[in-house]
Amino acid sequence: MGILRTAIIGAAVYAGVKYITKKDPITGQSIVDELLDRAPEWADKAKGYTEDLKSRVSNAAEDLAK
């Protein structure tokens, strides 16, 4: 039973990797390529959210200190 389960999981992982690395015939990019292209944008957005959160926390700390 363990060997069968391992084989099924391995086949699922193989199919998943094959799917996300397959090139799209229209754009010529895979899902992984698109994710790598968009990652810097997401990092910049995350930095903005981090700064916003830091300012909110500092404002809340100042309000509690009063």
Task: Give the whole-angstrom CA distance, residue 9 versus residue 15.
Answer: 10
- Encode pLDDT of 5-53 as tens digits: 999 999 999 999 999 999 988 889 999 999 999 999 999 999 999 999 9
- What pTM, to 2 d.p., does this model score? 0.58
Question: pLDDT confidence of 66, banded at 50, 70, 90?
Answer: confident
Helix/strand/coil (H/E/C) assignment for every residue in 16-66: HHHHHHCCCCCCCCCHHHHHHHHHHHHHHHHHHHHHHHHHHHHHHHHHHHC
Look-up: residue for tokens 């799209």? 24
The token duo for 20 is 């996300």
What does the pLDDT read at residue 64? Answer: 84
Domain layout of the chain by residue ranges: 23-66
